[in-house]
Structure 1
Amino acid sequence: MTTPIWLKDEPWLAKWLGWFLDKLDNRDGEPSQRAITRRIKKSTLPALYDFNEDTQGRWQLLQQIARDHGIFEIRPDNKRSAFQEPYENAQCRLNSDCEALLREWLNRPKQDPVVQAWQQAINEHAASFIDNGEALLNQKPQIPGLTPAEIVSAFANIEPYLNQNLTLREIAARCFNGDSKALDNRFELLLKLYGDNANGIQPRPLLLTAWAPPGFSKLLIVENQDSFLRLVENSPEDYALLYSGGFRASATRLSSEHARFAFLPGSDPERFKQRWLDEQTECHFWGDLDFAGMGILKALRNSLPNLQAWQPGYQPMLEILNTGGGHTPQQTRKTAQTDPGTTGCPYTDSTLLPALRQTNSALDQEAIHIP
């Protein structure tokens, strides 16, 4: 159904009906079951009191809408005097079932209150962003405890910090009530909001702990702290050790100038720097025998293409898995882990991953001790 012709010819009526939609769109927490009503008075519907016009025809039109379309119910005021107009102080009670019809008549689609809140907040700060805040409206980033108005305001306050040699974490802490992680994984959003100015944000250094004994020639990256420290106590011959801390070392920053190393006492930092990322250096990875661990190995190979799974660590773990040991993903909340498919490491792709799929079990590396 399209807008009735007679409604287009009666702007006073469209305004009267629009008031009811305004109330629906701005309930401000009122119970949705509460009826929306309005009394006909000179102050609310002056078109019925302009006696230079056909007020009786207008009143009949209002009654027709109530009778034929059920938009609202008209309840006369029983206390009015015989000398008053029949519509004086009559109550119009909106029929909520006719909201869709009323919106179609007035071409006013129902607005999502969440979208409205974001749009209103962005309108107040649109000039702060090169895209007028369109990226914020499209993404609506959620930050626990903050309203859309507070989130948009915080994003609008970022601009002065973009060229102060600060990291994303430092900027987030300054703009989001001390929450340094509020902007994690949101650099692309900042590029849309601030353009090239966002490139002034300093990359966060990747801090890694290493044990590099004099004369080593091979490198072993270890996923978990306890296993790393055990190996430091009894270092495999000819190996330098690097603690990766889960996925931290899998970032592209691993091979960039932003990687920083903290060396344990007794290390040879200069030799490590010479051998680090040298294509001739034999590199291995040892972590948990689960899909996440294999995913780390795959990601690390982006920076270290010759990286291989460390068989002295994985072989005893594999034997435990193949003899019924290990734990299921459900037992350790690992059900969200995804199979990496192939990693490019022959031993991993031909032996470790098939075992994980066949046994539906996993084993954390702390379960074994390397003599």
Structure 2
Amino acid sequence: MDQPRGVESAPVQQLLNLLVDRLDSAEQRGSAGVKSIALGERTWPALYMAHRESEKENLWEHIIELSCWGWLVVKPEVATRSRSGYADSPRVTVANILEVRKAVGRSTRIKSAVERWREAVREGLHGTDEVKAAVSEFCIDMPDRSMAEVVERLNVLPSLVGKELLLREVSSQLFWGMSKVLDKRQGLVAAVLGVDECPFPESPIQLQVFLPESGYHGVLFIENLMCFERAIRSKSSAFDGLALVYASGYKGGAQRLRTHDGCSLFYSTRGGFRQDLRASFEAWLFSKDVIPAFFWGDLDWSGMRILSVMRTTFLELAAWEPGYCQMLAALIGGNGHAPEAADKQGQKALDFSGCFYADTYLLPALHSYKKFVDQEQIRF
């Protein structure tokens, strides 16, 4: 016999796997010491939740044998001299790591993605230790490429400095045509280049803008493209004096929307094209002149979150009451739909948006009725 009796049984494997889990965790933390584990219902339920004492005694004999073979150390030692030593609040420590790992088929620890990334950066990135330490904080784990390959592509990054490239163009050139790898990783780019800020701008946000010929005194952001198209064709007085803007989803909340490089404007041919109209709109958007601004989207949690996020970019933004009051009436009148009916069951509830009208009327109604109203339901 080349190993202790019962070591391949499910209950003993359960305990040994737990011990190896703790070894792996300690190694990942860089801890050199092997800590003991208190045995009990949580750590070894197979023994401590067994119904018969004979079962417990049988399992405890396996621990005694593992101790005799030098695989485990049991404290207090007196517990190994009793058939019911499990009742002495024993603690066990792995003494022979190699054999315990071999017994459960885990001879080496599987390293985490973060650990493998740090190793690849340390071994393959061109740069100082300080640069490598900074880049190590941005793990890129691509399923079809090794981390060494990814790091090697990062070494090409300095050759792209000075070229008029957007961040996604840089990503595409570096990472085999994949344009989104560097999204939200500007810090990684800056670290590789040893600069304070990423020199490559994000893709500009495209805004579709309708400017009334007669001028305007406010701006209305419309979340849904179809509703935007309806609005620019509408003869309703509800839109009088409003410049209408379409920016999908959460893009309207991006800070770069209010910078010349971060935004591309496309003016509707159905509206006014006069220079003074465009200049006035761009003065508001880029110079941050203060005029009333409103948001109209779906009456659901996602729409309310977009409103909340956009208020960080447009501080004066408020929910557009002419649209939302009709949606609120539809909700109260029983014309809302369950989240599951429109694949919206994953939306997270919101308690506060910062907009008085939304916080006073819309959010409480959503909490109360637990149904949504789509923007397309309302016509002007």
Read off the aligned partner of 1:273 and give its amino acid letter: A
Shift in Å at residue 222 of structure 1?
0.4
Corresponding residue number in structure 2 for 1:298: 308
TM-score (norm 1): 0.66
- Decide whether aligned partners of structure 1 residues 195 and 219 sit closer, same or farther in structure 2, where only a CA change above 3 A counts: same
Corresponding residue number in structure 2 for 1:283: 293
Shift in Å at residue 188 of structure 1?
2.0
Between the two proteins, the alignment pairs up a number of residues equal to 276
- Decide whether aligned partners of structure 1 residues 336 and 129 sit closer, same or farther in structure 2, where only a CA change above 3 A counts: farther
Shift in Å at residue 195 of structure 1?
2.9
- Decide whether aligned partners of structure 1 residues 355 and 207 sit closer, same or farther in structure 2, where only a CA change above 3 A counts: same
Shift in Å at residue 239 of structure 1?
1.7
Corresponding residue number in structure 2 for 1:227: 227
Shift in Å at residue 130 of structure 1?
6.3
**Could you tell me how far apart the structure 2 residues matched to 1:121 and 1:309 are?**
49
Calculate the aligned-residue CA RMSD, in Å.
3.0
- 3-state secondary structure, aligned to 2:97: helix
Corresponding residue number in structure 1 for 2:110: 112
- 3-state secondary structure, aligned to 2:257: helix
- 3-state secondary structure, aligned to 1:214: coil
**Could you tell me how far apart the structure 2 residues matched to 1:357 and 1:289 are?**
12
Shift in Å at residue 345 of structure 1?
1.6
Shift in Å at residue 248 of structure 1?
1.2
- 3-state secondary structure, aligned to 1:351: helix
Q: Which has the larger radius of gyration?
A: 1
- Decide whether aligned partners of structure 1 residues 140 and 202 sit closer, same or farther in structure 2, where only a CA change above 3 A counts: closer
Corresponding residue number in structure 2 for 1:273: 279
Query: Quick one: which of 209, 226, 246 aligns to 1:243?
Result: 246
Shift in Å at residue 111 of structure 1?
4.3
- Decide whether aligned partners of structure 1 residues 335 and 157 sit closer, same or farther in structure 2, where only a CA change above 3 A counts: farther
Read off the aligned partner of 2:250 and give its amino acid letter: F
Corresponding residue number in structure 2 for 1:215: 214
- Decide whether aligned partners of structure 1 residues 110 and 283 sit closer, same or farther in structure 2, where only a CA change above 3 A counts: same
Query: Quick one: which of 349, 361, 367 aligns to 1:351?
Result: 361
Query: Quick one: which of 239, 243, 268 aligns to 1:264?
Result: 268
**Could you tell me how far apart the structure 1 residues matched to 2:295 and 2:146 are?**
44
Shift in Å at residue 164 of structure 1?
1.5
Shift in Å at residue 167 of structure 1?
1.3
**Could you tell me how far apart the structure 2 residues matched to 1:323 and 1:152 are?**
58
Corresponding residue number in structure 2 for 1:121: 120
Residue deviations 1:44-64 (CA, integer Å, cap 9, x gap): xxxxxxxxxxxxxxxxxxxxx
**Could you tell me how far apart the structure 2 residues matched to 1:241 and 1:356 are?**
26
Residue deviations 1:184-234 (CA, integer Å, cap 9, x gap): 111122233333175321343222110112122221110011100011111
**Could you tell me how far apart the structure 2 residues matched to 1:129 and 1:324 are?**
64
**Could you tell me how far apart the structure 2 residues matched to 1:231 and 1:224 are?**
11
Residue deviations 1:77-100 (CA, integer Å, cap 9, x gap): xxxxxxxxxxxxxxxxxxx99435
**Could you tell me how far apart the structure 1 residues matched to 2:341 and 2:373 are?**
11
Q: Do the aligned partners of 2:209 and 2:245 also contact (CA within 8 Å) in 1?
A: yes
1:254 aligns to 2:257 (yes or no): yes
TM-score (norm 2): 0.65
Identity %: 29
**Could you tell me how far apart the structure 1 residues matched to 2:135 and 2:159 are?**
19
**Could you tell me how far apart the structure 2 residues matched to 1:203 and 1:165 are?**
12
5+ residue gaps, structure 1: 1-66, 72-95, 104-108
- 3-state secondary structure, aligned to 2:198: helix
- 3-state secondary structure, aligned to 1:127: coil
Q: Do the aligned partners of 1:131 and 1:192 also contact (CA within 8 Å) in 2?
A: no
**Could you tell me how far apart the structure 2 residues matched to 1:227 and 1:314 are?**
13
Q: Do the aligned partners of 2:135 and 2:191 also contact (CA within 8 Å) in 1?
A: no
Read off the aligned partner of 1:226 and give its amino acid letter: M
Query: Quick one: which of 328, 351, 359 aligns to 1:318?
Result: 328
Corresponding residue number in structure 1 for 2:175: 176
Q: Do the aligned partners of 1:170 and 1:180 also contact (CA within 8 Å) in 2?
A: yes
Shift in Å at residue 151 of structure 1?
2.2
The worse-fitting range, judged by mean Cα deviation, of 231-240 and 188-197 is 188-197
Q: Do the aligned partners of 2:171 and 2:179 also contact (CA within 8 Å) in 1?
A: yes
- Decide whether aligned partners of structure 1 residues 167 and 130 sit closer, same or farther in structure 2, where only a CA change above 3 A counts: farther
Corresponding residue number in structure 2 for 1:164: 163
**Could you tell me how far apart the structure 1 residues matched to 2:295 and 2:131 are?**
47
**Could you tell me how far apart the structure 2 residues matched to 1:122 and 1:345 are?**
46
Corresponding residue number in structure 1 for 2:154: 155
- Decide whether aligned partners of structure 1 residues 197 and 163 sit closer, same or farther in structure 2, where only a CA change above 3 A counts: farther
Read off the aligned partner of 2:233 and give its amino acid letter: E
- 3-state secondary structure, aligned to 1:352: helix
- Decide whether aligned partners of structure 1 residues 128 and 164 sit closer, same or farther in structure 2, where only a CA change above 3 A counts: farther
Corresponding residue number in structure 2 for 1:11: none
